[in-house]
Amino acid sequence: MKAFTYERANTPAAAVKALAARPDTKFIAGGTNLLDLMKLQIETPEHLVDINRLGLDKIEPTPEGGLRIGALVRNTDLAADSRIRRDYAVLSRALLSGASAQLRNKATTAGNLLQRTRCPYFYDTTKPCNKRDPGSGCAAIGGFTRNLAIMGTSEACIATHPSDMAVAMRVLDAVIETVAPDGTTRAIPIAEFHRLPGNTPHIETTLGPNEMITAVTLPPPLGGLHIYRKVRDRSSYAFAVVSVAAVMQKNGRNRFAFGGLAHKPWRVEEAEKKETAAAVAEAVLAGAHTTPQNAFKTLLITRVLTSIFAQAAA
Amino acid sequence: MPDEPAPSPTGGPPDDPLFFCDPTTRRVFLTRAAGASAAVTLGHGLFSGPDAQAAVQAEAGGGEAGGEEEVTLLINGRQTKLRLDPRVTLLDAMREHLQLTGSKKGCDHGQCGACTVLVEGRRINSCLSLAVMHDGDKITTIEGLGTPAAMHPMQAAFVKHDGFQCGYCTPGQICSAVGMLAEIKAGIPSHVSADLLGEMSASEEEIRERMSGNLCRCAAYSNIIAAVREVSGDKTGGEA
Ligand SMILES: Cc1cc2nc3c(=O)[nH]c(=O)nc-3n(C[C@H](O)[C@H](O)[C@H](O)COP(=O)(O)OP(=O)(O)OC[C@H]3O[C@@H](n4cnc5c(N)ncnc54)[C@H](O)[C@@H]3O)c2cc1C
Ligand code: SF4
Ligand code: FES
Ligand code: FES
């Protein structure tokens, strides 16, 4: 790990001021992604601002009838909240399918949204990677692509976003609340939060360099049947190969979001009007860029959707 | 990676990361294990190389040190004040500064659970947390759960059921199991809980899922489950 200095912020305003005060500063929340990457010198901040004691760890009702989740709410606490379990079960299920209990006890809502890719070449500092080292090239293209993206890819990067939680938040149309050092706040719909790689895969979200996530709000409950289906290489403690978050309604107004397909949680709202699994899959996967190693993901998505439709009909 | 793998103290294969030597030569093992595990690549991301140098450097205060920070830890009922390089993880603070070597370093990347301790009653990976972030926190390690003369029921059950072979993962398994039973008691669901709102059980299926963050390279899993089920008192879901 490279040397860094450390400070603990006590209020959100002080935290964003500290972030803006010097270059190469990063927030540390649960630390489960940042410290992992710092040990590998993939992340090399010179200063860390600890935001664990800002009091942003509450889940509160909104006037609209939804919930406002503090940025520092731990993944365990979010999954276990009785309102989330009852009204947003897809989110509970997605969280519980991720990482391990120990990691979920530390991992935070904001940190989870901002976790970085698991592309093997991003982790391998001996290989070129436009995300880790802009302009150096992409070792994944033409390399081992089994776990990489098939939707929204670019010539510069074919990495996926690894979060399970974010996929459920996408299906629920969550909104990310932020604050900047001058006190300005923003509300960013999750659809606009994560970016596609384009020519700048190192810029992963629309969060400003000195902005802090303060909360994530969920709109009022949708009702319906909530399902999160994660397909992975072992049955626990593994990232998704593909995953589907679904909210199935009797009136056919279903919603689907997908993990393991793209640089962001993938959702094609037009496709949700289709009435069969095959038709939804076809519309969602239109324009897919597959390789012989990851083309199986298209069939896998169709099959997972088939099982979700069957479960909803049962 | 260390330049040269240290010679095996008991004649075992020098690059076998799972070769554990006797406790008096633990240092040799640690240096070697940290280097050797860099070669163990299981799938993408899992078991990628830990940075042994960084730990050593942080230890020595190497690099352009950003100065030390004062931190007060309440470990196993004892209050300790330390001045630490902010790079020092909770795991390294305990092992290298407080001689609490019960908690083990397996991967140093949140992938194995050997470093699991209880912070304010919750199980976490102490390798992925900075010591300075735990100022004032109450921490329980395997040493604080019980002593050989007065074992915690979970420690006694692991002995009774032979819940280990080499024992390297065991302190983490035991701390994790204690934290896990508290989570079940608090009604926290898991990935395999059929009903998110129902009562939580400690069935074998539940224990397997909830303990998946603790790997055992000796694969003592069935005996670990038997030990945990005995302490849980849960009789559902068939015999372990
Ligand atoms: C072995 C292992 C297995 C895993 N398996 C899974 C899995 O199956 N599914 C899954 O979804 N995830 C998995 N994860 C990833 C895990 O979910 C993330 O590491 C975690 O959610 C990150 O949250 P954190 O609070 O620890 O973030 P940190 O590491 O503290 O921070 C991550 C990033 O977010 C920034 N940040 C944090 N909070 C804020 C804020 N409020 N405002 C602005 N920036 C902020 C930090 O500066 C940093 O850049 C796994 C991780 C490990 C180590
Ligand atoms: S796919 Fe993206 S993250 Fe992976 S090597 Fe290429 S540029 Fe880097
Ligand atoms: S040492 Fe492996 S999880 Fe911490
Ligand atoms: S790793 Fe040897 S007993 Fe678990």
pLDDT > 50? residue B45:
no
Residue A230, φ and ψ in degrees, nearest 5 = -115, 125
Share above pLDDT 90 across residues of chain B, in percent, rounded to a whole number = 69
pLDDT class for B8, splitting at 50, 70, 90?
Answer: very low
A299 in B contact zone (CB under 8 Å): no
Q: How many CB atoms lie within 10 A of CB A235?
A: 12
- Chains A, B: CB contacts within 8 A come to 142
pLDDT class for B238, splitting at 50, 70, 90?
Answer: low
Give the pair of three-digit tokens for residue B16.
């076998």
Domain that holds residue B125: 17-232
pLDDT > 60? residue B107:
yes
pLDDT class for B32, splitting at 50, 70, 90?
Answer: very low
pLDDT (0 to 100) of residue B235: 78
Mean pLDDT of B206-232: 98
Q: Determine whether the interchain pair B49/A40 forms a contact, defined as Cβ–Cβ distance below 8 Å.
A: yes
pLDDT class for B66, splitting at 50, 70, 90?
Answer: low
pLDDT (0 to 100) of residue B67: 86
- The answer to whether residue B60 is domain-embedded is yes
pLDDT (0 to 100) of residue B38: 35
- The answer to whether residue B225 is domain-embedded is yes
pLDDT (0 to 100) of residue B237: 57
3-state secondary structure (DSSP) of residue B143: helix
Mean pLDDT of B138-149: 97
Q: From the CA of B163, give the closest atom in ligand 4.
A: 3
Give the pair of three-digit tokens for residue A240.
């998704």
Give me the amino acid identity at A208. G
The answer to whether A217 and A68 have CB atoms below 8 angstroms apart is yes
The verdict on the CB of residue A190 being under 6 Å from ligand 2 is no
What's the number of domains chain B is made of?
A: 1
Residue of chain A nearest B56, judged by CA positions: A1
d(CA A260, CA A161): 7
pLDDT > 50? residue B44:
no
3-state secondary structure (DSSP) of residue A261: coil
Residue of chain B nearest A98, judged by CA positions: B191
Q: Determine whether the interchain pair A147/B132 forms a contact, defined as Cβ–Cβ distance below 8 Å.
A: no
- The answer to whether residue B126 is domain-embedded is yes
Please name the member of A52, A85, A100 whose beta carbon is closest to the beta carbon of B212: A100
* CATH number where B218 lies: 1.10.150.120
Please name the member of B129, B180, B189 whose beta carbon is closest to the beta carbon of A106: B129
Q: Pairing between strand A47-50 and A5-8?
A: parallel
- The answer to whether residue B7 is domain-embedded is no
Residue A67, φ and ψ in degrees, nearest 5 = -130, 145
Of the residues B53, B119, B125, the best mutation for testing chain A's interface (the one with the most A CB atoms within 10 Å of its CB) is B125
d(CA B211, CA B192): 12
If one compares A141 and B18, the residue with the highest pLDDT of the two is: A141
pLDDT (0 to 100) of residue B234: 87
Of the residues B1, B85, B90, B130, the best mutation for testing chain A's interface (the one with the most A CB atoms within 10 Å of its CB) is B130
DSSP alpha helix (H) spans, A11-119: 12-21, 34-39, 75-80, 82-87, 89-96, 101-106, 109-113
A134-148, A289-303, B19-33, B196-210, range with the lowest pLDDT: B19-33
The answer to whether A212 and A74 have CB atoms below 8 angstroms apart is no
- The answer to whether residue B10 is domain-embedded is no
pLDDT > 50? residue B164:
yes
- The answer to whether residue B189 is domain-embedded is yes
- The answer to whether residue B11 is domain-embedded is no
Distance A105 CA to ligand 1 centre (A): 11
A293 in B contact zone (CB under 8 Å): no
The answer to whether B71 and B82 have CB atoms below 8 angstroms apart is yes
Q: Which residues in chain A come in under a pLDDT of 50?
A: none
- Residue B23's contacts (CB-CB under 8 Å, 6 or more residues apart) are none
